[in-house]
Each structure stands twice: as C-alpha cells, then as structure tokens.
C-alpha cells in the first residue's frame, strides 16, 4: 500500500514574509472561544489584522487560516465578500460616503462631487499622499442627517459641501 501523506497545504502556502503579531494571534484565539466553531471568528480575525496594518495583506490569509484551523480558501472567500475588509492598501483615513436613497434625495451627488473635487479622487481610490480612501457605503442609518458620511469611526451629517474642507482638516 502506498504511503499517504497528510494534506498539508496550510504548511506550504507562502505567507510573503507576513508575520502575525503575537497579540493579534492571542486576540483571534480569544474571539474563537466565543463560538461553537472557530470559523465564526474569521471576520473578526480579518478585522484584527486590518486594525494593525490598515488592510489585509495576502500573507495574512494563510496565517489566519492556521490560527483558526480552517482552510485558506475559506478565509479568502470571506475576506473578499465583505465590503469593510480591505484586500488592497487603503489610505490612513477611510471615508465612507452613504449613497443610499435618503442621502441620494438630500444631496449625495453634490457631496460626492465636492469630495472628489477636493481629494482629486473618485470612489474606490486613494489620494496620492496616502491620506484618504473614498468608498461608497450602504445606508449609514443616519437618514435624518442626510447627506451623511463616515470618516474612520466618526459619523457626520448633514454635510454641506462648504463644510468639507474644515472637516477633512482634522484627519492628518
């Protein structure tokens, strides 16, 4: 009988020199303990990496898979599904501008135009100095303050085009 080798794709996958920070690995293991199965901590694990690096580098995928004991394809499948997990580098600050119906009816187009003019970028792009990334987002639940947007963890609305310069100043 032929000698069978154990499937070992997790050991052989390149990690591009990515090293999981020990604190992050510990945080992931703790998260995994909140659920019946460690796969459930997958989104949180991606967010943990993202908090440290700003995005999820390629090498983090097999690293997370190893910690959670799941396949890398499953982690990548999750990473590419969710809009707030970034698989490309983003700016130091992420602007999420709400493009849903209430904001659309109260001035999204003007806000979007003003943001594009001021930053010199369109949706999905990052400024050359790496300061801002501009992304559209689902209804922010701030419809009584439309047009609304978020910068990092802060919600703003209603945002007038003339208020933008001063607002962006606070994020260096």
Partner 1 sequence: MTSQRQSPVYRSRLLQPASERQPDTHPLTWRLRDDGQVVDLKDYESKEGYCAVSQVLSAHDPQSVIAVMKEANVRGRGGAGFSAGLKWSLTMQGGDMPRGYIVCNADEMEPGTFKDRLLMEQQPHLLIEGMILAAFANNARYGYIFLRGEYVESARVLTQALAEARNAGWLGPDIAGSGFDFDIAVHTGAGRYICGEETALLNSLEGHRANPRAKPPFPGQSGAWGKPTVVNNVETLCNVPAVMLLGADWYQGLSGGRTKDGGTKLYGASGLVNRPGLWELPIGTTGQEILDRAEGLRDGRKLKAWLPGGASTGFLLPEHLELPLDFDTVGKEGSRLGTGLITVVTEDQSLVSLMRNLEEFFARESCGWCTPCRDGLPWTVKLLLGLERGEGEAGDVELLDKLAADCGPGLTFCAHAPGAAMPLQTALRHFRHEFEQGVHYPKGKAHADPIPVGQV
Residues interacting with partner 1, by CB under 8 A?
Answer: 34-44, 46-47, 74, 77-78, 81-85, 96, 99-102, 104-106, 137-146, 148, 150, 153-160, 163, 166-167, 169-170
Distances (CA, A) of 108 to 34, 55, 149: 39, 27, 10
Minimum separation from the CB atom of position 19 to partner 1 (A):
23
Q: Which is nearer to partner 1, 1 or 101 (CB)?
A: 101
Whole-number Cα distances in Å, 122 to 3, 97, 119 = 56, 11, 8
Q: Residue 13 Cβ, how far from partner 1 at the closest point, in Å?
A: 19
CA distance 148 to 159: 6
Residue 147: asked if its preceding bond is cis (omega within 30°), the reply is: yes
Nearer residue to partner 1 within complex by CB, 12 or 172: 172
**Separation between Cα atoms, residue 5 and residue 25, nearest integer Å:** 28
Judged by beta carbon, residue 121 or residue 159, the one nearer partner 1 is 159
Between 10 and 74, whose beta carbon lies closer to partner 1? Answer: 74
C-alpha 93/C-alpha 97 separation (Å) is 13
- Distance of closest approach, residue 47 Cβ to partner 1, in angstroms: 6
Q: How far is the CB of 148 from partner 1 (least distance, A)?
A: 6
Which residues sit opposite 96 in a β-bridge? 135, 150
């Amino acid at each position: 009988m032929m000698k069978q080798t154990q499937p070992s794709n997790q050991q052989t996958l390149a990690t591009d020199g990515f090293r999981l920070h020990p604190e992050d690995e510990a945080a992931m293991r703790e998260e995994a303990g909140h659920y019946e199965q460690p796969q459930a901590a997958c989104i949180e694990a991606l967010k943990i990496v993202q908090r440290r690096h700003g995005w999820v580098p390629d090498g983090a995928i097999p690293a997370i898979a190893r910690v959670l004991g799941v396949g890398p394809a499953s982690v990548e499948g999750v990473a590419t599904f969710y809009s707030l997990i970034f698989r490309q580098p983003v700016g130091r600050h992420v602007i999420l501008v709400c493009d849903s119906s209430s904001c659309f009816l109260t001035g999204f187009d003007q806000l979007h135009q003003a943001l594009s003019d001021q930053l010199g970028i369109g949706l999905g792009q990052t400024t050359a100095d790496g300061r801002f990334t501009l992304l559209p987002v689902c209804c922010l639940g701030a419809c009584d303050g439309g047009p609304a947007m978020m910068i990092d963890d802060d919600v703003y609305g209603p945002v007038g085009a003339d208020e933008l310069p001063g607002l962006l100043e606070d994020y260096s």
